[in-house]
Amino acid sequence: MPLAVNLRHLEARNIRLEGSLPVAELDIDPRDEVIRVCHPLEHELEVQRLEDGLLVRGQLHLVLECQCVRCLKPFQHHLELADWACHLPLQGEDHVAVVNDCVDLTPWVREDILLEFPRHPLCKPGCRGLPRASIGKVRSTGDTGRPDVGSPAWAELNKLKF
């Protein structure tokens, strides 16, 4: 089920839309290897009919599976839009598409959710990466794919500093 409003239901009063939008419907491609969308989008919205269009207001909540760009630790990022609002014109040049009396809200939700994605996901503010002591531990478990201060990635970063 896409996130859609049936305009016929809106004539008398506002509509409340509550539930979750499956990953496949949300269809977000973060274009970023360190962020994955694997949980449905929780939403609690109220749709109001205005003279010239629709006003949608409410909350959006999406849990992202992220990988810290500094220490590579996987963590969950809770993306919360507590006061999301969107005005959808039904007339004029920029009017939204109405199919069988329904307006699909998904494209607007998708766009605004994407804008809130963390650019450089960090497991905690100011994460300093893997401490030297734990690099040894990581190595001993056979996982050698982690960056340490001597790796080429760090050499590149150090170049940028000067």
Residues that bind Zn ion (CB under 5 A): 68, 70-71, 73, 123, 127
Residue 86 Cβ vs Zn ion, minimum distance, rounded to whole Å? 33
The alpha helices in the chain, defined as continuous H runs, are: 23-26, 106-115, 132-140, 152-161
Q: How far is the CB of 68 from Zn ion (least distance, A)?
A: 3
Q: Do 127 and 70 contact (CB within 8 A), yes or no?
A: yes
Task: List the beta bridge partners of residue 65.
Answer: 36, 76
**Distance (Å, whole) CA 106 – CA 8:** 19
17 vs 127, beta carbon nearer Zn ion = 127
CB of 69 to Zn ion, least distance (A): 8
* Minimum CB distance to Zn ion, residue 73 (Å): 5
Q: Which is nearer to Zn ion, 48 or 134 (CB)?
A: 134
Nearer to Zn ion, 86 or 127 (CB): 127
When the beta carbons of 52 and 143 are compared against Zn ion, the nearer one is 143
Q: Which residues lie below 8 Å from residue 32, measured CB to CB, with a gap of 6+? A: 117
